[in-house]
C-alpha cells in the first residue's frame, strides 16, 4: 500500500506534539480505565464490553467502535477482550440473522434483540482487517482477516443460495440499509473510506461490489446533505431525501444524534482518499449553519433545512466533535490552501479550536459523545489511520 501522510491539524493550530500526547494519554485513561467515567468494562480474564451508559446495555455500535479505537491505539489485549465478548454473546449462529451480531445485549450478555444494526458490522469488519495487518492473525476467532471476510460475505450475500435472511446492503443500488431488508438507509452509516478498503481486502468475488459502493456512498452523501445547511437526516430514502414516516420509536427525518456522524465520515474519507464529488461542501455549510447562523446556541435539534426546534441536542459534545472532525474535508491539503475560501478555512479552524477546548463528557449520557470525541481527536491528530 502506498505511503500516506496523515495531517496533524492540532499542530497546524499551534498545539505541540507533547500537548497532544499528554491529552491523548488522559483520554485513554478516562475512556478505558477511570473507575467513574470509563466505558470499557473487563469481564473475567479475557473479555470486556463497552457500555452505552445512557441505556445500560452493550451495543454493536459501541463494541465495534471500541475495537476500532483499540487497533488505532495499539491496544491488542483490550481489542481481543472486546471481540471475544462480542463473538460470545452477540454473534448469532442460527436463524434469520445467523452470521450477524445482535445489536443490543444486557451487560451480562443476555440478548435484548435478535436483530442486527449494519453500522456495527461494517466497523467490526474494518477493525478486524486493521488488526490482521497491524498484529497478525491468530487462531479461531482471532484469525482476524478470515472473520472480516466472512462477515462481509454475510452482509451482501445473505438470502442467496438458500442462506436464510436478508443482506445489509441493497444489492441493486449498493447502499447500506438501516437494518437488513429495509427499504431505506441511514446517511451516517455510509462509509466510503471503509468500502474502498473492502474492495482491496474482501473475498475477491466481492471486491467489485465494494468499489461501486464507495462511489455510490460519496454521491449519496452529497445528495442527502441539505443544499443550504449541510444537515443530513437520521434516516433517508435512497435518493437522499428524509424518511418522513414516524416510527413507533419516533421521528428520524431531522438532524439529530445519528446524523452528526455524517460530517465526521466525510472528513475521514477525505483525509484517507482525497476524493471529492461535492460531498465536502456539506461540511462547510454545516459549520456555517451551526457556527455562524446559530453561534449563540448551536447545540439544538434541527429540521434539515435549519429550522431550530424547541429541543436541546441529546449529545452536544458529539455534535461538536463530529463537526470539528469534518474540518479535514474543508481544509483539504496544505498544497491546496490557496484554493480554499478563506472564510470557510477560518471557520473550520474555529471548530477545531473549540473542540480542543472541550473536555470529554461526564455522567450518564457520556457514551455516544465520548466515542465520537475519541475518533475526532485521533483523526485531527493524524492518528486515525489505514493499517
Active site residues: 61, 258
Q: How far, in Å, CA of 262 to CA of 20, rounded?
A: 25
At which residue does the C-alpha cell 451551526 appear? 290
At which residue does the C-alpha cell 491468530 appear? 138
CB proximity list for 108: less than 8 A, separation 6 or greater: none
- Residues paired with 43 in a beta bridge: 47
Cell of 44: 473475567
Supply the angle between the helices 60-73 and 76-85 in degrees, to the nearest 10. Answer: 160
CB proximity list for 84: less than 8 A, separation 6 or greater: 46, 47, 141
- Residues paired with 111 in a beta bridge: 105
Q: Give the residue among 188, 53, 57 at the shortest CA–CA distance from 119.
A: 188
Type and span of the H or E element at 59: strand 58-59
- Count H helices, E strands: the chain? 14, 6
Q: Are 160 and 114 in contact (CB under 8 A)?
A: no
Q: Give the residue among 144, 53, 47 at the shortest CA–CA distance from 90.
A: 47
Q: Are 112 and 57 in contact (CB under 8 A)?
A: yes
Q: How far, in Å, CA of 100 to CA of 152, rounded?
A: 10
Report the sign of the C-alpha dihedral through residues 331, 332, 336, 341, in that order.
negative
Q: How far, in Å, CA of 361 to CA of 356, rounded?
A: 13
CA distances from 344 to 78, 291, 331, 340 (A): 39, 11, 8, 7
Amino acid at each position: 500500500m502506498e505511503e500516506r501522510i496523515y495531517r496533524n491539524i492540532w499542530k497546524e493550530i499551534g498545539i505541540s506534539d507533547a500537548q497532544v500526547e499528554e491529552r491523548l494519554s488522559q483520554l485513554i485513561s478516562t475512556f478505558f480505565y477511570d473507575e467513574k467515567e470509563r466505558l470499557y468494562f473487563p469481564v473475567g480474564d479475557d473479555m470486556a464490553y463497552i457500555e452505552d451508559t445512557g441505556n445500560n446495555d452493550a451495543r454493536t455500535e459501541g463494541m465495534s467502535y471500541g475495537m476500532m479505537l483499540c487497533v488505532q491505539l495499539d491496544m491488542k489485549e483490550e481489542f481481543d477482550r472486546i471481540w471475544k465478548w462480542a463473538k460470545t454473546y452477540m454473534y448469532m449462529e442460527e436463524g434469520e440473522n445467523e452470521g450477524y451480531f445482535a445489536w443490543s445485549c444486557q451487560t451480562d450478555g443476555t440478548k435484548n434483540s435478535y436483530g442486527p444494526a449494519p453500522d456495527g458490522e461494517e466497523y467490526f469488519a474494518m477493525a478486524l482487517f486493521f488488526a490482521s495487518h497491524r498484529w497478525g492473525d491468530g487462531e479461531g476467532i482471532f484469525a482476524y482477516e478470515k472473520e472480516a471476510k466472512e462477515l462481509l460475505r454475510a452482509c451482501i450475500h445473505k438470502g442467496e443460495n438458500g442462506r436464510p435472511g436478508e443482506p445489509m446492503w441493497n444489492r441493486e443500488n449498493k447502499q447500506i440499509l438501516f437494518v437488513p431488508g429495509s427499504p431505506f438507509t441511514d446517511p451516517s452509516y455510509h462509509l466510503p473510506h471503509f468500502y474502498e478498503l473492502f474492495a482491496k481486502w474482501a473475498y475477491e468475488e466481492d471486491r467489485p461490489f465494494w468499489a461501486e459502493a464507495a462511489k455510490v456512498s460519496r454521491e449519496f452523501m452529497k445528495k442527502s446533505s441539505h443544499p443550504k445547511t449541510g444537515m443530513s437526516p437520521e434516516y433517508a430514502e435512497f435518493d437522499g431525501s428524509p424518511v418522513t414516516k414516524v416510527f413507533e420509536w419516533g421521528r428520524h427525518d431531522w438532524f439529530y444524534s445519528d446524523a452528526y456522524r455524517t460530517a465526521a465520515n466525510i472528513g475521514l474519507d477525505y483525509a484517507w482518499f482525497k476524493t471529492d464529488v461535492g460531498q465536502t461542501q456539506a461540511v462547510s455549510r454545516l459549520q456555517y449553519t451551526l457556527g455562524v447562523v446559530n453561534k449563540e446556541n448551536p447545540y439544538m435539534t434541527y429540521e434539515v433545512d435549519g429550522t431550530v426546534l424547541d429541543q436541546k441536542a441529546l449529545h452536544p459534545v458529539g455534535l461538536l466533535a463530529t463537526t470539528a472532525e469534518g474540518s479535514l474535508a474543508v481544509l483539504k491539503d496544505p498544497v491546496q490552501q490557496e484554493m480554499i475560501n478563506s472564510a470557510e478555512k477560518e471557520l473550520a479552524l474555529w471548530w477545531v479550536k473549540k473542540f480542543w477546548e472541550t473536555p470529554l463528557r461526564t455522567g450518564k449520557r457520556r457514551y455516544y459523545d465520548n466515542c465520537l470525541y475519541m475518533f475526532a481527536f485521533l483523526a485531527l491528530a493524524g492518528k486515525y489511520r489505514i493499517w
